[in-house]
Amino acid sequence: MTHCKPHRFADVEYRVEDEIAIVTMSHPPVNGLGLGIRRGLVAAFEAARCDVRVRAIVLNGSGRGFSAGGDIREFGTSAATAWPALSLHVHPVIEASDKPVFQVAPGRLRSISTN
């Protein structure tokens, strides 16, 4: 893919500005990591990987914070088990990026590097 228009993958927005892919989790009120966000993150990072214009990726969350973790509204539902291996794919897709990934979050931030 040589040119990507802004996309919305379920609960994730993807756009490119100045050679930077901006991936925004948008699942109010706390960006719970439900099925929609997990699918959207995988799709957005794949789009960024394939887009030759993208030189870096910024991952952020809309609203008050980055993410509160698992979406408790999906606990015990079919959505929680609809794509169970997906949770195992989200981190590897991000970690395997050949482009630097930056997280934007309010407040204090702890960081680790896998390289």
User: Looking at residue 52, what is its pLDDT?
Assistant: 93
Q: pTM for the full model?
A: 0.78
CA distances from 66 to 2, 47, 79, 81, 103 (A): 29, 21, 22, 23, 9
Closest CA to 67 of 32, 34, 93: 32
pLDDT tops 70 at residue 112: no
Q: pLDDT of 61-108, one tens digit each?
A: 998 788 877 787 877 777 666 665 666 678 888 888 999 999 887 766
DSSP 73: G
Q: pLDDT of 2-53, one tens digit each?
A: 455 567 787 999 999 999 999 999 988 888 888 888 889 999 999 999 999 9
Classify 114 as helix, strand or coil: coil
Banded model confidence at residue 1, pLDDT cuts 50, 70, 90? very low
Task: Look at the block and give the residue holding tokens 């079919």.
Answer: 78
Structural domain boundaries in the chain: 7-104
Per CATH, the number for 7-104 is: 3.90.226.10
User: Looking at residue 14, what is its pLDDT?
Assistant: 94
